Chain A
Amino acid sequence: MTSMTPGTAEFLLAFADDEHLMGQQHTEWIGIAPFLEEDMAFASIAQDELSHAALLYAIVADNGQGSPPDDRAIDTLAFDRSAADYRSAQIVEVACTGWAHALVRHWLYDTAEELRWSLVDGSSLEPLKDAAAHAAREERFHVRHADGLIDVLAHTPDSADRLADAVNALLPLATGLFEPVAGEAEAIEAGVTSAPFDTMLPEWTNRVRARFPEIDIEAIAAPAYASRTRRHGDFAALMSRMNEVRGIDPTAVW
């Protein structure tokens, strides 16, 4: 197997960083979600996202050779890079302290992720292709979970207002998921991914429109791209929470 180019590594890191930070954010609802089943749901979904991140970081860590994952190397990529080296979209960095915001972000994110994994299910990079087979099965029910709750909540006036507020606040950041990193072109050329992720933006927008028909999503202006190289204001605090336990003993084996 040939080794991957720096561009492909950057492409995979952006993907991994999104999955990683999304998973970390979901874990913060364990124990404080509005009802017990939601504690379980957010825990299970977080578990999936973190495992997808680990699969992706593992590919970068061993240069696409497909050797068994090295947990230490995965942690180094996941936790020990400087803020400027992360390639996450700001939607996974922003703090969602209200549950409506967390739920809407979960829907927006997983609707995009389902499309994103579909672009790499025939990847020339074997470990990525294998990861896509796992992720496709696991992502599918994430959207179903968010849909189930939104179906119920959308009919209650107060809940519907909260959901609408969340969509207004988060949609501009969520479009940043589709922003390409510089390495994406190389990844496409190498057959690692089949097309630019933003070719999926119209399909995603259609799904957002169908999900939230009362909201004029065209009126919500997306910010200019360049968000993947700039960190959101909430990133530092998130990173600090993520490293709280690990910081006690960075060499510990989990």
Chain B
Amino acid sequence: MSTIAVDTTLLRDAALGAVATVDDPEIPGVSIVDLGLLETVTATADGKVAIGLIPTFSGCPALAMIAADVEAAVAALPEVEEATVEWLRSPVWTIERVTEDARRTMATDLTLAVRVDSGPTPCPRCGSPTEEKSEFGPSRCRAIHRCGSCLEVIEVMRDR
């Protein structure tokens, strides 16, 4: 262990960068930070980093995998002595936490839309209104819609 105290602001920034390299296991190319799962990062002068995450849904089966990926990414930083990850009980995740960047990547690369509250969710391919076909998609946080114009069947990320 280094005897020189670590600059906690720099360490925190480095840890934040490391967390941002972790993609959601079911949404390749989209960081969990851009999905809004990161809530807290704290760093101490002796190189201990604690990450607080929130789940999209409490029963998401990917939680253990995400926590392990985040821990490994942060622990790999040379100045980190210890990395811990905790799933926080609050706040409750909402769809508004998904960044514009993530929305663009999801639409362009994965034909994955994000649910909108007012009016129909636009098709990620052609922008036309979509219609919900099933509230239940391949995972708890996805519904199935179909575009009324290009007829593409799309998955829509949702928070309830």
Contacts and interface: CB of A to CB of B under 8 A. Distances in A.
A112 to B, nearest CB: 19
A63 interface: no
Interface in A24-79: 37, 40-41, 43-44, 47-48, 50-52, 54-55, 66, 68-69
B50 to A, nearest CB: 11
B129 interface: no
Contact of B92 (A37, A43, A127, A134): A134
Interface stretch (A5-13, A135-143, A234-242): A135-143
Interface string A123-158: 000110011011101101100110000000000000
B135 A141 contact: yes
A130 B57 contact: no
Nearest to A133: B92
Contact of A134 (B58, B61, B86): B58
A127 B87 CA distance: 13
B140 A47 contact: yes
B59 interface: yes
Contact of B87 (A68, A133, A254): A68
A140 B92 contact: no
B78 interface: no
Interface residues of A, number: 29
B86 A55 contact: no
B160 A145 contact: no
Contacts of A68: 86-87
Contacts of A54: 58-59
A99 to B, nearest CB: 16
B58 A138 contact: yes
Interface in B66-105: 86-87, 89-90, 92
B119 interface: no
A135 to B, nearest CB: 8
A40 B87 CA distance: 26
A40 B134 contact: yes
Interface string A228-254: 000000000000000000000000001
21 contacts: A40-B134, A44-B136, A44-B139, A47-B59, A47-B60, A48-B57, A50-B59, A51-B60, A52-B58, A54-B58, A68-B86, A69-B87, A126-B89, A130-B89, A137-B92, A138-B58, A138-B160, A140-B160, A141-B135, A145-B135, A254-B64
